[in-house]
């Protein structure tokens, strides 16, 4: 029996330094690899050190990617995680679902408040990703029922 294709999720923000990277790493961790997770930015910068620190092992090897890297690739879900990206990112015609999560940029917090801001962002993304995984499982069941 053929293994079903793993769902593909792309997280987008402007710099691809914190929120989208955290979402990518968290989705990989929480789904235990059952979902392919990617992230990109419209104006990529560098991965923030607190992003790597919070993700621990899952943060190793993260690198910023420009949105153009993924143009033309099929994604089941595309999620913008910042308001500016939501306004400027192109649509992905192949995406089954597109969503926007308005999450404040933790890197924009004052230096003495950044760790708390990153921790809040990490927690919020963890909760949202767990909910996203429920939707993904539901969608996969619906497709399996259609095929059966």
Is residue 114 classed exposed, middle or buried when 0-12, 13-18 and 19+ CB atoms within 10 A define those classes? Answer: middle
d(CA 55, CA 120): 13
Secondary element (H or E) of residue 122:
helix 114-147
- How many domains, the chain? 1
**Residue at 82 is within a domain:** yes
Domain of residue 45: give its range. Answer: 8-147
What does the pLDDT read at residue 146?
Answer: 80
What does the pLDDT read at residue 59?
Answer: 78
**Residue at 2 is within a domain:** no
Q: At what angle do helices 19-31 and 114-147 cross, to 10 degrees?
A: 50
**Residue at 3 is within a domain:** no
What does the pLDDT read at residue 94?
Answer: 67
Structure pTM? 0.92
In contact, 9 and 35? CB cutoff 8 Å = yes
**Residue at 1 is within a domain:** no
**Residue at 54 is within a domain:** yes
What does the pLDDT read at residue 79?
Answer: 95
Q: What is the CATH number of the domain that holds 35?
A: 3.40.50.2300
Q: Could you list the pLDDT tens digit for every one of the 148 residues in the chain? A: 456 689 999 999 989 999 999 999 999 999 999 999 999 998 999 999 999 999 988 777 889 999 989 988 889 999 999 877 667 666 666 677 889 999 999 999 999 999 999 999 999 999 999 999 999 999 888 888 887 6
């Amino acid at each position: 029996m053929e293994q079903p294709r793993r769902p593909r999720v792309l997280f987008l923000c402007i710099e691809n330094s914190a929120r989208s990277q955290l979402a990518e790493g968290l989705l990989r961790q929480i789904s235990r690899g059952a979902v392919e997770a990617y992230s990109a930015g419209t104006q990529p910068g560098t991965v923030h050190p607190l992003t790597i620190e919070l993700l621990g092992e899952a943060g190793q090897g993260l690198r910023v990617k420009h949105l153009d890297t993924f143009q033309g690739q099929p994604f089941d879900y595309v999620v913008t995680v910042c308001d500016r990206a939501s306004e400027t990112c192109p649509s992905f015609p192949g995406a089954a679902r597109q969503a926007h999560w308005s999450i404040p940029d933790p890197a924009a917090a004052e230096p003495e408040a950044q760790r708390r801001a990153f921790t809040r962002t990490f927690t919020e993304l963890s909760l949202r990703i767990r909910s996203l995984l429920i939707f993904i499982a539901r969608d996969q069941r619906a497709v399996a029922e259609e095929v059966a």
